Structure 1
């Protein structure tokens, strides 16, 4: 595809480098096609059903959707205003009619979805459009900071930053995941300090120094549990709280010998296309951001089901 002297570049090499971006583009194309297919199929099914019943499509819609959608009660309007008034202008006062119209639109939308599903089911209609295949990434480098199953069926590699609030926010979801799947899932930590987080690289080095004394995860929890800014003094204070050998810890941290490991982790993250934290690879499947527990659970369940086939 490209050549400079003896150096050549193939399309396959390019696609491998940007496979994550290409996958996102393919997903967008897939969703756009699905939306159009569903819309056009819906119009066709509605016309066919109206013809069977000797009605216009508008009359059929009124009969099956509009007239069947329940009216919004005063209690429902009041409940909505009680729950959301703080976010509405003037506390929601005088907005009863607008709220009723909003809730009516929601009910009508739900009724329309249910009716169209019924028509689709009755017709036996099918959509044969293959969803794009999700890429899997091979993670290169040390996988030593790990907890969970000793012989896991699912590996979760987390690229994280100790100064990142989103990384802190996702920790309860990861802990819950290990509580539920600890005999089948292993969590592995890799370092990806963001350029704007000046304390993050040294925090990672401190955690790796704690790892030399078998205390990585305890130190990890201390760092993420800290609400104040991270400082050199706090790294030493945490080590003392954990009763680490301070001579070894200080020597390790002051020598800067863990800086290269942190830099190597960050370089691997960049190779994998990571631009923000946290980023996860679940058996090689990329998941970005502080996702809710349910999203981790969904992917883990898919991987466990695939393992059993």
Structure 2
């Protein structure tokens, strides 16, 4: 992954002219909660210019690990963002029953989610994210890679927008 982190960082379904944004977050991080809203605003303002790739980086213990597993597993049902929004906008401290209740509320198959959360594939995704965080020096959250620009920590929306617009004005990253 060190030789070519791009597929793990941004995925392989890039579209020319669309700037990928890799977002490393933690559900219990207050700065991530604020940045998540800023990213939603950016993506709503420029829907054809940016593509968000979510990376769960649980750093605050077992509840964070559980929520991250649920998020990664929800992606397999196409509902990661719905689950993430619910987690990020409530003071939930994740435990299995509450996670499965929220999952059912957003329309996920809770039994499948529970199976996927325990799967080696979900663990591999979390391990890949940890390896990427190490490569980019993310010791905490939030972390962003916007095209070619690496950012660690909270940033104001005006700076996020300026960096995103600068990246959009450049040729596609060689990735």
| Range of TM-score over shorter length | 0.7 to 0.9
Tell me by how many angstroms 1:258 deviates: 1.4
- State the distance in 2 between where 1:198 and 1:178 align: 31
Task: Please state if 1:216 is matched with 2:80.
Answer: yes
Alignment RMSD (CA, Å)? 2.5
Tell me by how many angstroms 1:284 deviates: 2.3
Larger radius of gyration: 1
Match of 1:141 in 2: 8
Task: Please state if 1:174 is matched with 2:39.
Answer: yes
Tell me by how many angstroms 1:224 deviates: 0.7
Higher helix share: 1
Q: Which runs of 5+ in 1 are unaligned?
A: 1-15, 17-136
Question: Aligned pair in 2 of structure 1 residues 281, 143: CA closer, same or farther (>3 Å)?
Answer: closer
Match of 1:159 in 2: 24
Q: Which runs of 5+ in 2 are unaligned?
A: none
Q: Aligned match of 2:58 in 170, 190, 193?
A: 193
- State the distance in 1 between where 2:127 and 2:5 align: 19
Show the 5 A alignment for 1:1-309: 138-141=5-8, 143=10, 151-194=16-59, 196-255=60-119, 257-307=121-171
Q: Which has the higher contact order (CA 8 A, sep 6+)?
A: 2
1:238-266 Cα distance to aligned partner (Å, 9 max, x none): 11102222331222224565123212211
Query: What is the TM-score normalised by the length of structure 2?
Result: 0.84
- State the distance in 2 between where 1:304 and 1:210 align: 29
Alignment check: 8 A CA contact 2:20 2:52 kept:
yes
Question: Aligned pair in 2 of structure 1 residues 152, 164: CA closer, same or farther (>3 Å)?
Answer: farther
- State the distance in 2 between where 1:155 and 1:257 align: 23
Query: What is the TM-score normalised by the length of structure 1?
Result: 0.50
Question: Aligned pair in 2 of structure 1 residues 141, 255: CA closer, same or farther (>3 Å)?
Answer: closer
Match of 1:55 in 2: none
Q: May I ask how many residue pairs the two structures share in their alignment?
A: 169
Question: Aligned pair in 2 of structure 1 residues 249, 183: CA closer, same or farther (>3 Å)?
Answer: same
- State the distance in 2 between where 1:176 and 1:139 align: 25
Alignment check: 8 A CA contact 2:9 2:22 kept:
no
